[in-house]
Amino acid sequence: MLASRKPTTMTTITGSQSVISSLEHEGVDLIFGIPGGAILPAYDPLYSSPIRHILARHEQGAGHMAAGYAWATGRVGVCVATSGPGATNLVTPLADALMDSVPMVAITGQVPTHAVGNDAFQEAYTVGITMPTTKHNYFVTDPDDIPTVIHQAFHLASSGRPGPVLVDLPKDVLNQETEWHPPQDLDLPGYKPTLDGHPRRVKEAVEMLAASRRPVLYVGGGIIKSEASEALTRFAEITNIPVVTTLMGRGAIPDSHPLCLGMPGMHGNYTAITSMQKCDVLAAFGVRFDDRVTGDPNHFAVDAKIIHADVDPAEIGKVRTADIPIVADARRVLTQMIKAWGDRSPVANQEWWETIREWQTKYPLSYDQQPDGPIKPQFVIDELARVTGGDAILVAGVGQHQMWASQFWNFDRPRRWINSGGLGTMGFAVPAAIGAKAGMSDELVYAVDGDGCFQMTFQELITAAAHGIPVKVAVFNNGAHGMVKQWQKLFYGGRLSASLLNSEVVDYVKLAEGMGCIGLRAEAPEEVGPILEKSLTIDDRPVVVEMVVDPDEMVFPMVPAGGSNDNVILGPEPAD
Partner 1 sequence: MENRPGVLARVSSCLARRGFNIHSLAVGPTIDPGLSRITVVVESEKLEQVKKQLHKLINVIRIFELEPSKAVERETMLIRVAAIGNARTEAIEVANIFKATVVDVGYNSLTFEVTGRPAKLNDLIELLRPFGVVELVKSGRIAIGRAPKSKPSRMRAVG
Piece in contact with partner 1 (CB under 8 A), picked from 130-138, 215-223, 230-238, 374-382 = 130-138
Shortest distance (Å) from residue 136 CB to partner 1: 4
Nearer to partner 1, 230 or 291 (CB): 291
* 135 near partner 1, judged by CB under 8 A: yes
Q: How far is the CB of 312 from partner 1 (least distance, A)?
A: 7
Instruction: Provide the residue type at 235 as one letter.
Output: F
Choices 7-15, 67-75, 133-141, 445-453 (CB under 8 A): range interacting with partner 1: 133-141
Residue 123 C-beta: closest distance to partner 1, Å: 17
Q: Does the footprint of partner 1 cover residue 136 (CB under 8 A)?
A: yes
Of 27, 85, 128, 572, the one binding partner 1 (CB under 8 A) is 128
The distance of closest approach from Cβ of residue 521 to partner 1 in the complex, given in angstroms and rounded to an integer, is 45
Q: Are 126 and 184 spatial neighbours (Cβ–Cβ below 8 Å)?
A: no
Q: Does 139 bind partner 1 (CB under 8 A)?
A: yes
Sign of the dihedral defined by the CA atoms of residues 564, 570, 572, 575, in that order: negative
CB atoms within 10 A of CB 496: 13
Cα–Cα distance measured from residue 422 to residue 96, given in angstroms and rounded to the nearest whole number:
7
Instruction: Rank residues 132 and 468 by Cβ distance to partner 1 and give the closer one.
Output: 132
The answer to whether the CB of 255 falls within 8 A of the CB of 411 is yes
Q: What three-state secondary structure class fits 138?
A: strand
Residue of 127, 210, 536, 554 that binds partner 1 (CB under 8 A): 127
Residues 6+ apart with CB under 8 A from 155: 186, 188
State in angstroms the smallest separation of the CB of 189 from partner 1: 5
**Least CB distance to partner 1 at residue 154 (A):** 14
CB closer to partner 1 out of 158 and 486: 158
Helix, strand or coil, per DSSP, at residue 24: helix
Using the rule CB under 8 A, is 117 a contact of partner 1?
A: no
CB-based contacts of 377, cutoff 8 Å, min separation 6 = 400, 401, 404, 476, 478, 547, 549, 550, 553
Task: Tell me which stretch binds partner 1 (CB under 8 A): 112-120, 258-266, 308-316, 518-526.
Answer: 308-316
What single letter denotes the amino acid at residue 567?
Answer: N
Q: Is residue 180 within 8 Å of 301, Cβ to Cβ?
A: no
Pair type for strands 393-396 and 445-450: parallel
185 forms part of the interface with partner 1 (CB under 8 A): no
Asked if 181 is part of the footprint of partner 1 (rule: CB under 8 A), the reply reads no
CB of 313 to partner 1, least distance (A): 5
Using CB under 8 A, which of the segments 127-135, 285-293, 385-393, 455-463 binds partner 1? 127-135
Angstrom CA distances, 142 to 20, 258, 458, stand at 16, 57, 39
Binding piece for partner 1, criterion CB under 8 A, among 189-197, 220-228, 287-295, 385-393? 189-197
Contact present, 311 and 327 (Cβ < 8 Å): yes
Q: Supply the DSSP symbol for 552.
A: T
- Cα dihedral sign, 472-477-482-486: negative
Choose one: 306-314, 365-373, 461-469, 498-506; the region binding partner 1 (CB under 8 A). Answer: 306-314
Any contact of residue 314 with partner 1 (CB under 8 A)?
Answer: yes
415 binds partner 1 (CB under 8 A): no
**Contact between 312 and partner 1 (CB under 8 A)?**
yes
CA distance 511 to 533: 21
Nearer to partner 1, 50 or 317 (CB): 317
506-535 exposure pattern, b = at least 16 Cβ within 10 A, e = fewer: bebbebbeebebbbbbbeebebbbebbebb
- Report the half-sphere exposure of 21 (CA within 13 A, side-chain side): 25
CA distance 258 to 281: 20
Distance between CA 240 and CA 457 in Å, rounded?
44
Stretch that binds partner 1, among 6-14, 73-81, 132-140, 221-229 (CB under 8 A): 132-140
> Catalytic site residues?
59, 121-122, 171, 483
Asked if 317 interacts with partner 1 (CB under 8 A), we say yes
- Tell me the site size for partner 1, rule CB under 8 A: 17
- Per CB under 8 A, does 186 bind partner 1? no
Site string for partner 1, 147-166 (x = CB under 8 A): ---------x----------
State how far the Cα of 157 lies from the Cα of 164, in Å rounded to an integer. 6
191 belongs to the binding site for partner 1 (CB under 8 A): yes
225 binds partner 1 per the rule CB under 8 A: no
Residue 96 CB, nearest approach to partner 1 (Å): 17
Asked if 131 touches partner 1 (CB under 8 A), the answer is yes
- Interface region with partner 1, contact rule CB under 8 A, candidates 123-131, 288-296, 496-504, 513-521: 123-131
| Cα 236 to Cα 238: distance, rounded to the nearest angstrom | 6
Type and span of the H or E element at 446: strand 445-450
Q: Does 189 bind partner 1 (CB under 8 A)?
A: yes
Nearer to partner 1, 159 or 271 (CB): 159
Contact present, 247 and 421 (Cβ < 8 Å): yes
Between helices 91-99 and 59-73, what is the axis angle to 10°? 30
Angle, to 10 degrees, between the axis of helix 525-537 and the axis of helix 377-388? 40
- DSSP secondary structure letters along 145-191: GHHHHHHHHHHHHHSSS--EEEEEEEHHHHHSEEE---------TT-
Determine if 466 is a binding residue for partner 1 (CB under 8 A).
no
Our finding on whether 371 is near partner 1 (CB under 8 A) is: no
Contacting partner 1 within 71-110 (CB under 8 A): none
Per-position x/- string for 330-369, each x denoting binding to partner 1 as judged by CB under 8 A, each - no binding: ----------------------------------------
Taking the least distance from each CB to partner 1, the nearer of 103 and 452 is 103
Q: By CB under 8 A, tell whether 313 contacts partner 1.
A: yes
In the complex, the residues that contact partner 1 under the rule CB under 8 A are 127-128, 131-132, 135-136, 139, 156, 188-191, 312-314, 317-318
